[in-house]
Chains A and B, each alone.
Chain A
């Protein structure tokens, strides 16, 4: 029953991902926030210091899910690689990447620049 793991045909983008700078990622995340703010009643100010989760947080748990989906999609469009912000590393970090917009940007930069 042993199975060989087959990779889906990689697109050129997945073979040669672009390097992502903090500025590019910030722009990408802010664009996702703008999209989020346009469709939700609660607003998330596009600033690094904006707290996302917790009592002072800008989003509730479902809002966070929606926001993460938008950030992932925008990052995929902007950087041409599959992005998943909910990997084990994110979940096991002592300081959650979802605690603030700045932390989210920082984590995304790290993830996008990892060798694939």
Chain B
């Protein structure tokens, strides 16, 4: 992976996804991204697809287009995710279903289709999923979100074993709260209490997340798989 190739990042319209797209284009990767809506930005070396990550047919059509256009995929970063801060007794079923759909179904579909493409082209590849510190911290008010990301951790660990014969590594980064839309609705007192539980009590940054992804993408990291790296000492 030391030579940049083709990378697919989900949820690139804004936030961490956009930051990662810009970062890896600048580093020489050809980046393909997706989101449900159209981004209000463009970038040479970046192409965008409008697709819901949980829509199997849309995802398959997107991978077919990637294969036709690039003939390969070297890295997948499953960044797309949604959260909803709510007490479990006040959480509508529709909220749970939406969170599971984007976070679990979306991650599953992209991992599966990426691994198909990577294994078909016999080049191996790197998959990086997104976990969260809300899972190990058992964060109150985030039951649905934490559970969805627990599922992502399980997927990561099992897929790491199933995809190892194809030289595909599967790892995850578990960010702390970062200034994005995902946490905009969380009260400050809640956020302060959460950050206080970290060994390194500060907000995370997009650079912190990218640092872990960079590590998973390094050529020398081909012996690292099935791992979840939580930020902030959680």
**Hey, which bits of chain A sit against chain B, CB under 8 A?**
1-11, 14, 39, 62, 66, 69-70, 72-73, 76, 81-82, 84
Contact = CB atoms under 8 A, between A and B. Distances in A.
Nearest to B120: A73
7 contacts: A3-B52, A6-B51, A7-B61, A8-B58, A8-B59, A9-B49, A82-B64
A76 B50 contact: no
Contact of A69 (B67, B82, B119): B119
A62 B165 contact: yes
Contacts of B64: 11, 14, 76, 81-82
Given A8-B49, A9-B49, A14-B61, A69 B116 contact: yes
Contact of A6 (B55, B98, B122): B55
Given A3-B36, A4-B52, A66-B119, 12 more contacts: A3-B52, A3-B101, A4-B36, A5-B52, A5-B58, A6-B37, A7-B51, A8-B59, A14-B61, A62-B165, A73-B67, A73-B120
A2 B62 CA distance: 23
Nearest to A7: B58
Interface in B40-82: 49-52, 54-55, 57-65, 67-68, 82
Contacts of A69: 116, 119-120
Given A69-B116, A70-B120, A3 B61 contact: no
A62 B59 CA distance: 24
B94 interface: yes
B95 interface: yes
B65 A11 contact: yes
A81 to B, nearest CB: 8
Interface in B99-139: 101, 116, 119-120, 122
B72 to A, nearest CB: 12
A14 B65 CA distance: 10
B176 to A, nearest CB: 24
A8 B119 contact: no
A81 B60 CA distance: 9
A3 B50 CA distance: 13
A39 B67 CA distance: 21
A6 B122 CA distance: 31
A76 B61 CA distance: 11
